[in-house]
């Protein structure tokens, strides 16, 4: 499809406006952190939900709810007070290839991050505040996340852009935390980062739609494609390029564009 930038922007603005509303929440993984009002609860529930956000969305929501229930619907309180033995009950948790060992380590690592580093926001925001990109934030976060002893297999559940991984789930999580547009979907609770810093979450749906619209040429859904796509979206809205994630995803999932 060969559209002028103005026509494309108008089309995607309209679709973003249409899909960026609270009506999408119940059938989207973002429904899980929307159960909470405390900043830390939103962060932790959002991060854990994003971690397992691949596959069938009903299954994602069901398993994420189960995980939150196992933390007595108080993620930050659980993380803050948990002792080593408290993590053992998560040994039975499974979502696709994310198993009990992965889950126990993730909870231990998140606990370590809040106790030793001041929380998730502090780790993600520091590189950007020092003039680096979100790519460097994710790479730095990954390094901190895996500083505790862990099984090598668990590393596959945190994407690594330094080896060209798209980091779709982490970019989605960052969208949830950073974007603030008073539409009731994204939370906008991380003021240390700006929407302009974000990269578009890239999956099969957003990638296919972007290619049909001519704003992504590369065939692989990798970090290079994430950068290419986001740079093209910035031409339409440099301050909030990732709002177009609503349009690309909605066109792919709901309209089979």
pLDDT of residue 257: 87
Higher pLDDT, 5 or 187: 187
Q: Which pLDDT belongs to residue 130? A: 92
Question: Has residue 4 got a pLDDT over 90?
Answer: no
Q: Which burial class, exposed, middle or buried, applies to 132 when counting CB atoms under 10 A from its CB (0-12, 13-18, 19+)? A: middle
Q: Give the pLDDT band of residue 1 (cuts 50, 70, 90).
A: low
Contacts of 67 (CB under 8 A, 6+ apart): 48, 49, 52, 90, 93, 103
Q: Is the pLDDT of residue 33 over 60?
A: yes
Distance of alpha carbon 118 from alpha carbon 56, whole angstroms: 33
Checking if the pLDDT of 129 tops 60, the result is yes
Please tell me the distance from the alpha carbon of residue 254 to that of residue 257, in angstroms, as a whole number: 8
- Percentage of residues in the chain with pLDDT exceeding 70? 99
Mean pLDDT (whole number) for 121-130:
95
pTM of the shown model: 0.96
Mean per-residue pLDDT over the chain, rounded: 96
């Amino acid at each position: 499809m060969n559209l002028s930038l103005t026509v494309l922007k108008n089309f995607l603005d309209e679709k973003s406006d249409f899909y960026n509303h609270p009506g999408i929440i119940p059938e989207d993984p973002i429904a899980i952190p929307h159960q909470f009002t405390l900043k830390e609860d939103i962060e932790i529930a959002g991060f854990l939900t994003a971690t397992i956000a691949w596959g069938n969305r009903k299954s994602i929501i069901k398993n994420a709810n189960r995980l939150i229930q196992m933390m007595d619907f108080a993620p930050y309180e659980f993380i803050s007070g948990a002792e080593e033995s408290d993590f053992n009950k998560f040994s039975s948790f499974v979502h696709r290839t994310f198993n009990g060992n992965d889950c126990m380590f993730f909870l231990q690592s998140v606990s370590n991050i809040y106790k030793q580093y001041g929380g998730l926001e502090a780790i993600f925001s520091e590189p950007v505040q020092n003039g680096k990109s979100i790519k460097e934030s994710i790479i730095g976060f990954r390094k901190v996340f895996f500083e505790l002893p862990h099984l090598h297999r668990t590393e596959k559940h945190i994407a690594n852009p330094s080896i060209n991984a798209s980091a779709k789930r982490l970019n989605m999580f960052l969208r949830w935390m950073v974007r603030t547009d008073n539409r009731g979907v994204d939370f906008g609770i991380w003021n240390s980062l700006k929407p302009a810093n974000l990269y578009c979450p890239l999956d099969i749906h957003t990638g296919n739609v972007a290619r049909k619209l001519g704003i992504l040429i590369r065939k692989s859904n990798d970090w290079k494609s994430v950068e290419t796509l986001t740079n093209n979206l910035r031409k339409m809205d440099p301050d909030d390029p990732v709002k177009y994630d609503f349009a690309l995803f909605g066109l792919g999932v709901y309209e089979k564009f």
